[in-house]
Chains A and B, each alone.
Chain A
Amino acid sequence: TQLLEQSPQFLSIQEGENLTVYCNSSSVFSSLQWYRQEPGEGPVLLVTVVTGGEVKKLKRLTFQFGDARKDSSLHITAAQPGDTGLYLCAGTTNSGYALNFGKGTSLLVTP
């Protein structure tokens, strides 16, 4: 059973477009992280959110943690080819210790 559901699974857009990736669960998370993974490399941590309703910005990337701490979103403004990669959300519930990963969103940004 997948604890974290990510959507969309695949996304192909043109440079300059905006996009949003969603990470949803029926469980409450004590913290949630977003990673980006490029081909041939390991995932790289982008951000951690811990407070319900929290919004964090990283240049053109905006991360939001839901008020109930069950969901999160990643919004990219004016996407660039360098944003291409696999975006993974991961979190820990109050009842577990392991980091649960979503299935990921594969993003392709074409010039």
Chain B
Amino acid sequence: SAVISQKPSRDICQRGTSLTIQCQVDSQVTMMFWYRQQPGQSLTLIATANQGSEATYESGFVIDKFPISRPNLTFSTLTVSNMSPEDSSIYLCSVGAGWGQPQHFGDGTRLSIL
């Protein structure tokens, strides 16, 4: 399976700032996804990162707050903008072969906002 590297692994940020999380895959993949996971909780899909076009966001998530880039088939970024303490969470990148197919996850970025 693909090897997925996420950076940074963790960060502590000030309220009102923005942070960009990177997701690098060691092979070309069809689908890339971004999830949010509250500690000890399940995963909530933020958006699907589409190569060469705008990301597809799930209900409750907007591009202004979570801009996503996917310049090629191996790399994507998620920015958490104008952060507040409610954004403290684990952010996970995953890849898959297609809709509904099994996904492989990075180890996540643990984000704390003060």
Instruction: List residues of chain A with CB under 8 Å of any chain B CB.
Output: 30-31, 33, 40-45, 48, 86, 88, 90-92, 96-99, 101-104, 106
Contacts and interface: CB of A to CB of B under 8 A. Distances in A.
A44 B105 contact: yes
29 contacts: A31-B100, A33-B102, A40-B108, A41-B107, A42-B92, A42-B105, A42-B106, A42-B107, A43-B43, A44-B105, A45-B104, A48-B102, A86-B40, A88-B43, A91-B100, A92-B99, A96-B100, A97-B100, A98-B99, A99-B33, A99-B45, A99-B96, A99-B100, A101-B42, A102-B42, A103-B41, A104-B40, A104-B41, A104-B42
B11 interface: no
A45 B2 CA distance: 12
A70 to B, nearest CB: 16
**Interface residues on chain B, size class:** 20 to 34
